[in-house]
Amino acid sequence: AQSVTQLDSHVSVSEGTPVLLRCNYSSSYSPSLFWYVQHPNKGLQLLLKYTSAATLVKGINGFEAEFKKSETSFHLTKPSAHMSDAAEYFCVATGGFKTIFGAGTRLFVKA
Amino acid sequence: DAGVTQSPTHLIKTRGQQVTLRCSPKSGHDTVSWYQQALGQGPQFIFQYYEEEERQRGNFPDRFSGHQFPNYSSELNVNALLLGDSALYLCASSSQLGTGELFFGEGSRLTVL
């Protein structure tokens, strides 16, 4: 069975400091992995995706994620946070016909 | 290229009423999935439609039903509304030939009084 665990429900950083949002997955086969961002009262926007090509994936707005099969992790990072990054972030795994969402991580960015 | 469009954006209903939400997928997409997102929660999978048939279903009661039309657009119907059905309903489209990436609409905000 597939599962996605986002290890932090809330993360708070100061503007200009690095961001790390953690995601672990469990799957009996190699899934495709995604990070989505959701701003208040908006739909979800794709940040980046991993589909068994390069393990280091670059996305929009300066975000990156690294797929580590040995650790079953797909953590999202950004070198320097901006105020506009404050939002909810979802780690998502797909395989077969199933799409599994993590519970989400709320990112707060302090001035 | 229009993305995923949903209508209406907001609506208010009373308990026991019925509601229909609509979704037009991104051009070139053939699969539509519906999600319910309660306030402060992550999206919960309701069901997925492909080739006009429900292919998968999440843990939602039969009050939730749907339809996909030949042009790939879709409807979500909810009967006998409960207060707990108040949520943001998200439609996502994808392609069977793609990598599983979902494109989301802005959602329909349903309030049940």
What letter represents residue B74's amino acid?
Answer: S
Tokens of B59: 């843990």
The answer, for B58 touching chain A at a CB cutoff of 8 Å, is: no
**pLDDT the model gives residue A52:** 75
Contacts of A97 in chain B (CB under 8 A): 48, 55-56
Residue A28 has pLDDT above 80, yes or no: no
Segment A92-103 shows an average pLDDT of 82
Task: Report the chain A residue with the minimal C-alpha distance to residue B47.
Answer: A98
* Residue A3 CB partners (closer than 8 Å, separation 6+): A25, A26, A27, A100
The pLDDT tens digits for B63-102 are 999 999 999 999 999 999 999 999 999 999 998 887 778 9
Q: What angle do CA B103, A58, A102 make, to 5 degrees?
A: 50
For the domain covering A3-102, report its CATH number: 2.60.40.10
Closest partner residue to B100 among A32, A36, A44, by Cβ?
A: A32
Quote the distance between the C-alpha of residue A4 and its chain's center.
Answer: 11
The pLDDT tens digits for B36-63 are 999 888 899 999 999 999 998 999 999 9
Mutate to test the interface with A, among B7, B37, B51 (most CBs of A within 10 A): B37
**pLDDT the model gives residue A57:** 94
Closest partner residue to B42 among A45, A95, A102, by Cβ?
A: A102
CATH architecture label of B5-112: Sandwich (2.60)
Cβ–Cβ gap A49/B101 under 8 Å: yes
Closest partner residue to A42 among B92, B99, B106, by Cβ?
A: B106
Q: Chain A: give the shortest CA distance to residue B5, in Å.
A: 11
What are phi and psi for residue A13, nearest 5 degrees?
Answer: -135, 165
